[in-house]
């Protein structure tokens, strides 16, 4: 089958994309509004960019009414955010933070989520998360305005936190980190089924 996006509705395009672009790592983004209201929400259009500068991106799409999501508004106002890594043990709690709370409501308080202070930025960290990235805004790209308009938020990592329990022989043990990924619909995946491949040598 072939699909031409110009012949499809936005919702149909989105549905097909999230079914095919899998598994997607989840950025559990903590931010704080200019009025001091803390916010926590998951985003599965997320990834690392590079190590120079150390940077990540996440992509909040606008709401159906065209308004921007709280995470984006907060980051644009304060220029700071934290990405909390989502392990399987936090999956259900992460999902609860995806509910459409009002901007005056803190997900941390509404769901009684334990927090840790950050070292270099104001947004809080999720205490149960096994790794967190403190970030400062590098760039915001608005690809489209209006309903479902795409935004790209690029942040420079200014501090990393990694729980000692997941370090084995100086490296992160993926079995202990046990991250979850987003699939299509209501489905998620775990990193419990893994394999290794050696990088091939340069052809002679």
Alpha carbons within 13 angstroms on the beta-carbon side of residue 75 total 30
Is residue 11 one of the residues assigned to a domain?
no
Is residue 10 one of the residues assigned to a domain?
no
CB 31 within 8 A of CB 74: yes
Query: How many structural domains are present in the chain?
Result: 1
Cα dihedral across residues 158, 48, 125, 167: positive or negative: negative
pLDDT confidence of residue 38: 98
pLDDT confidence of residue 204: 82
C-beta contacts of 138-141 below 8 A and 24+ residues apart: 138/53, 138/55, 140/72, 140/75, 140/76
Is residue 6 one of the residues assigned to a domain?
no
Is residue 157 one of the residues assigned to a domain?
yes
Token duo for residue 76: 């644009």
Is residue 82 one of the residues assigned to a domain?
yes
pTM over 0.75: yes
Residue pLDDT tens, the chain, 204 long: 999 999 999 999 999 999 999 999 999 999 999 999 999 999 999 999 999 999 999 999 999 999 999 999 999 999 999 999 999 999 999 999 999 999 999 999 999 999 999 999 999 999 999 999 999 999 999 999 999 999 999 999 999 999 999 999 999 999 999 999 999 999 999 999 999 999 999 888
Is residue 4 one of the residues assigned to a domain?
no
Please, which residues bridge with residue 39 across strands? 31
We report the CATH number of the domain holding residue 86 as: 2.30.110.10
Is residue 138 one of the residues assigned to a domain?
yes
pLDDT confidence of residue 118: 99
Is residue 3 one of the residues assigned to a domain?
no
For residue 85, give its domain range.
26-182
What letter would DSSP give residue 96?
H
């Amino acid at each position: 089958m072939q699909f031409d996006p110009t012949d499809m509705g936005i919702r149909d395009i989105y549905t097909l994309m999230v079914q095919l672009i899998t598994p997607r790592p989840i950025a559990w983004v903590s931010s704080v509004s200019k009025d001091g209201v803390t916010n926590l929400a998951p985003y599965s259009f997320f990834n690392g960019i590079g190590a120079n500068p150390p940077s990540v991106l996440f992509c909040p799409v606008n709401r159906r009414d065209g308004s921007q999501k709280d995470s984006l508004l907060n980051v644009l106002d304060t220029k700071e955010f934290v990405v909390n890594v989502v392990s399987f043990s936090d999956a259900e709690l992460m999902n609860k933070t995806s509910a459409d709370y009002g901007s005056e409501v803190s997900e941390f308080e509404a769901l009684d989520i334990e927090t840790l202070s950050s070292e270099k930025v104001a947004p809080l960290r999720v205490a149960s998360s096994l790794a967190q990235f403190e970030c400062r805004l590098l760039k915001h790209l608005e690809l489209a305005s209006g309903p479902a308009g795409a935004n790209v938020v690029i942040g420079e990592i200014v501090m990393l936190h990694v729980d000692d329990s997941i370090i084995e022989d100086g490296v992160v043990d993926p079995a202990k980190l046990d991250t979850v990924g987003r699939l299509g619909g209501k489905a998620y995946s775990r990193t419990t089924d893994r394999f290794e491949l050696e990088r091939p040598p340069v052809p002679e």
